[in-house]
């Protein structure tokens, strides 16, 4: 067909660059952030028309043959040029790899471990389906995802200055990137799951250290990520004691669900949540471990007010109180030994007091007697 430029305005949405060597000029799409107020909402695109000036459609569909161009795209065609199938409409220059030193990379590692949301996160597809652009509003474009039957599954308004990577009629999978930006870890977890999130965090952190030639085994990062994913949020409490919206340890939920299924009760439904390492450390079940990290006074005060009990299950709290840590080759053996151990010592019952010297047992009974002077207590003791 024939090329027709849409919203190509020199100095507003495009710039003309001339090659010093060849003398040939080309059009370069301007970055929306560098455009003035007039060009902010415009989307330069190339449309294909037939010889009569009618819009062409992609074969076998009702989708117009038009190509929105990203910022930095280089167009060597002129308006009205004839193109055939396979001809290059525009070239996108390859981004040069940024040289990152360790000082610039460490804040990035901190952002990942603290699970902070980026300022301008990438927009991910909420559902799998066919992309369709609807009626635009002032400054925003309407993006819809439909299923094969035509039903709208998801709809979102995206600012026009955001660079959209998908075309009208394109099929996208859930979690696929629609608009450029830094992916939000919480979105990756919600749409793609735990495995994809762990792989993303591990790769991003390794990239920072790999530039400096620092080799770190993935398992160290994966252990930290596991702790960040330790909590879950209750979606439906079922027949359990949890409350909807409550954040609970994943192991506790699994244990409770096992008990519920064994008793033919409805188990709880939950979704994993991502906590930063600071928040995850303070949200641990052990108040001794949390108090040793940050906000010691607040953590200990809350534990005292609530009457919390620390079962000393983790490493940190056992080190603090001077016990052996629950790890190592002998752990399984000693756990089994404790389970099989039956106490042989006599149990203390109410009314019995043991002498600290261990020589005698004293039984104390108290009887109330009413007389004119008040209540008197009589004591009877036997060796």
Within a domain: 45: yes
Q: What is the DSSP string of 93-124?
A: PPPPPP---HHHHHHHHHHHHTTPPPSSBPEE
The reply to whether 29 and 8 lie within a common domain is yes
**CATH number of the domain that residue 267 is part of:** 1.10.150.390
Query: What's the pTM value of the predicted model, to 2 decimals?
Result: 0.68
Within a domain: 305: yes
Parallel, antiparallel or unpaired: strands 45-49 and 66-68: antiparallel
pLDDT level of residue 352 (50, 70, 90 thresholds): low
Is the per-residue pLDDT at 202 higher than 80? yes
Average confidence score pLDDT of the chain = 82
The reply to whether 309 and 232 lie within a common domain is yes
Most confident of 25-29, 345-349, 374-378: 25-29
What percent of the chain has a predicted confidence (pLDDT) above 70?
A: 86
Task: Return phi, psi of residue 46, to 5°.
Answer: -105, 125
Strand partners, 271: 233
Q: Which of 256, 320, 255, 254 is nearest to 287 (CA)?
A: 320
Strand partners, 143: 133, 156
Within a domain: 184: yes
Higher pLDDT pick, 274 / 363:
274
Within a domain: 165: yes
The reply to whether 262 and 335 lie within a common domain is yes
pLDDT level of residue 205 (50, 70, 90 thresholds): very high
Higher pLDDT pick, 221 / 17:
221
Number of domains in the chain: 3
**CATH number of the domain that residue 42 is part of:** 2.40.50.100
The reply to whether 296 and 232 lie within a common domain is yes
Among candidate residues 32, 51, 75, the one where a domain is terminated = 75
Give me the domain span that covers residue 244.
226-339
Helix/strand/coil for 62: coil
Alpha-carbon separation of residue 186 from 104, 127, 174, 280, 366 (angstroms): 23, 16, 14, 15, 64
Within a domain: 93: no
The reply to whether 60 and 118 lie within a common domain is no
The reply to whether 213 and 234 lie within a common domain is no
Higher pLDDT pick, 225 / 11:
225
Per-residue pLDDT reduced to its tens digit, 144-166: 898 888 788 888 888 877 888 88
Is the per-residue pLDDT at 7 higher than 60? yes
The phi-psi region of residue 101 (left if phi > 0; otherwise alpha if psi is between -120 and 50; otherwise beta) is beta
The reported pLDDT for the residue numbered 371 is 47
Within a domain: 100: no
Within a domain: 156: yes
Furthest C-alpha separation in the chain: 123
Strand partners, 91: 74
Within a domain: 354: no
Q: Distance (Å, rounded) from C-alpha 25 to C-alpha 16?
A: 7
Is the per-residue pLDDT at 368 higher than 60? no
The reply to whether 324 and 276 lie within a common domain is yes
pLDDT level of residue 167 (50, 70, 90 thresholds): confident
Among candidate residues 59, 75, 91, the one where a domain is terminated = 75
The reply to whether 189 and 117 lie within a common domain is yes
Mean pLDDT, residues 210-229: 91
The reply to whether 117 and 157 lie within a common domain is yes
Among candidate residues 301, 324, 339, the one where a domain is terminated = 339
The reply to whether 146 and 127 lie within a common domain is yes
The reply to whether 115 and 151 lie within a common domain is yes
Residue pair 230/272 in contact (Cβ under 8 Å)? The answer is: no
Residue pair 292/301 in contact (Cβ under 8 Å)? The answer is: no
The reply to whether 185 and 236 lie within a common domain is no
- Measured in residues, the chain has a length of 383
The reported pLDDT for the residue numbered 70 is 79
Least confident of 68-82, 123-137, 284-298, 362-376: 362-376
């Amino acid at each position: 067909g024939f090329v027709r430029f849409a919203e190509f305005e020199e100095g507003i949405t495009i710039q003309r660059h001339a090659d010093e060597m060849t003398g040939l000029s080309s059009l370069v799409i301007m970055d929306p952030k560098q455009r003035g107020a007039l060009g902010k909402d415009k989307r330069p695109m190339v449309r294909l028309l037939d010889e009569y000036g009618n819009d062409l459609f992609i074969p076998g569909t009702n989708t117009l043959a038009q190509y929105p161009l990203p910022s930095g795209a280089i167009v060597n065609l002129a308006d009205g040029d004839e193109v055939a199938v396979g001809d290059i409409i525009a070239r996108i220059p390859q981004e040069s790899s940024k040289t990152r030193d360790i000082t610039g990379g460490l804040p990035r590692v901190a952002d990942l471990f603290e699970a902070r949301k980026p300022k301008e996160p990438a927009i991910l597809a909420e559902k799998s389906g066919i992309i369709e652009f609807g009626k635009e509003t002032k400054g925003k474009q309407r993006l819809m995802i439909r299923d094969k039957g035509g039903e709208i599954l998801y709809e979102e308004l995206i600012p026009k200055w955001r660079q959209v990577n998908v075309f009208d009629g394109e099929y996208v999978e859930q979690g696929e990137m629609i608009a450029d930006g830094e992916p939000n870890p919480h979105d990756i977890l919600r749409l793609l799951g735990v495995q994809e999130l762990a792989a993303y965090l591990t790769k991003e952190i390794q990239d920072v250290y790999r530039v400096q030639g620092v080799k770190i085994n993935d398992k160290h990062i994966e252990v930290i990520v596991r702790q960040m994913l330790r909590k879950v949020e209750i979606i439906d409490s079922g027949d359990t004691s949890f409350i909807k919206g409550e954040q609970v340890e994943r192991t506790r939920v699994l244990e409770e669900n096992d008990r519920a299924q064994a008793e033919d009760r409805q188990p709880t439904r939950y979704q994993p949540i991502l906590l930063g390492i600071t928040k995850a450390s303070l949200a641990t079940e052990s108040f001794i471990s949390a108090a040793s990290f940050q906000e010691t006074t607040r953590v200990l005060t809350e534990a005292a007010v609530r009457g919390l009990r620390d079962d000393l299950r983790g490493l940190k709290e056992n080190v603090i109180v001077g016990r052996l840590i629950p790890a190592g080759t002998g752990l399984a053996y000693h756990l089994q030994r404790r389970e099989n151990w039956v106490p042989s010592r006599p149990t203390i019952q109410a009314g019995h007091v043991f002498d600290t010297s261990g020589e005698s047992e004293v039984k104390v009974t108290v009887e109330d007697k009413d007389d004119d002077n008040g209540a008197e207590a009589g004591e009877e003791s036997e060796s």
